[in-house]
Amino acid sequence: MASHGLTYEGCNFLRQRLVLSALSGKRVKIKNIRSKDDEPGLRDFEANFIRLLDKLTNGSTIEINQTGTVLVYQPGLLYGGTVEHDCNPQRSIGYYLEALLMLGPFMKSPLKATLRGVTNDLTDPTVDLLKSTALPVMKKFGIDGEGFDIKVVKRGMAPGGGGEVVFTCPVRKTVRPVQLTDPGKIKRIRGVAYSVRVSPQMGNRIVESARGILNQFLPDIYIYTDHMKGANSGKSPGFGLTLVAETLNGCFLSAEMSSMPQGQGDPILPEDLGRNCAKLLLEEIYRGGCVDSSNQSLALLLMTLGQQDVSKVLLGPLSPYTIEFLRHIRDFFQIMFKIEVQKPLEDERKGGDKVLMTCVGVGYSNISKTLK
């Protein structure tokens, strides 16, 4: 397969490019990675991500020049199996897990990945969020089974980390097309307030303040507290909240907040954190759509890889990350989405403008899955 491949510049969207390269089998070359920077080249967490990809594939070649400013990736077969990986604490496990969610169903053998590092931080989606929103999105596309789960064995807050997460995913031959055009009304809100190496009372304080806002709209709210102790609580103190609103049609919208890492910035009171997180959730509900903003690209990828049939998904306003992802899908799979903006009527209380995304899947089939 000596395809000429694709060439990009810069360090942005590195994950997107490598994941799509692994799925499409197209070689990708990325140059000028922070070439003007005082410390040029790949960061540790990016190199760490490339090593994780290498563990998952068989026969991929990776070339990086001396300064780390040029990367050439020729993907191999997605192999899967049992993988253990220590993630770089600069980014949370969510950064690595998002890519695994996209690759997991297309492995040769079912994936069981044990990732160690930071489970909850401020920049990346936390493990709790991915568990409660990304998995339901994938189930809609027919990726399901007994072994489909994300387990938080140990929590680890930034900066020390020390958390552990196990992600298991069955393989699928094909992805089924979906029609998700009506999210329906919000019926209940679930959440988890977690705290490690701080007083267990913190969790209760977060829950009370979040409920103070959300109970004005909805009676069915259940936020449970998760206080991990001893060896399971990682190396750094911290607390946070993940909230998920479920609609009548089984769509999930989420929001989350974590406390500032120890020794950085101003500390935040658990009451403020609970209130702010509840407001973020209301904001996400206003943006609406059948998939929340953190999982837009996952849904669009699964639509692209679906069977050769029409898929439709209603999304809220597209995030900048998603917009770039659409450009990459065009490069790697030659798929263009039809995008229709839908403005809600004046008297309907449907929140902000929505975007209806339509495409015909490429009929991607898992070539490495052996026929039994």
**In CATH, what class is 186-287?**
alpha beta
The reported pTM is: 0.93
Residue 15 CA to residue 90 CA, distance in Å, equals 15
Quick one: pLDDT at residue 367?
67
Per-residue pLDDT for the chain (372 aa), expressed as one digit of tens each?
445 689 999 999 999 999 999 999 999 999 999 999 999 999 999 999 999 999 999 999 999 999 999 999 999 999 999 999 999 999 999 999 999 999 999 999 999 999 999 999 988 999 999 999 999 999 999 998 888 999 999 999 989 999 999 999 999 888 999 999 999 899 999 999 999 999 999 999 999 999 999 999 999 999 999 999 998 999 999 999 999 999 999 999 999 999 999 888 888 999 999 999 999 999 999 998 999 999 999 999 999 999 999 999 999 999 999 999 999 999 999 999 999 998 877 767 778 889 999 999 998 887 665 544
pLDDT at 143: 92
| Integer angstrom CA distances of residue 131 from 75, 156, 212, 228 | 28, 16, 25, 18
What phi and psi, each to the nearest 5 degrees, are found at residue 19?
-65, -45
215-237 b/e (C-beta count within 10 Å ≥ 16 → b): eeeeeebebebebbeeeebbbbb
Count of alpha carbons within 13 Å of 98, Cβ hemisphere only?
A: 23
Q: Which two tokens stand for residue 204?
A: 């209760």
Kindly state the tokens that stand for 20. Answer: 């799509």
**Angle, to 10 degrees, between the axis of helix 44-56 and the axis of helix 14-24?**
10
The contacts of residue 59 (CB under 8 Å, 6+ apart) are 76, 77
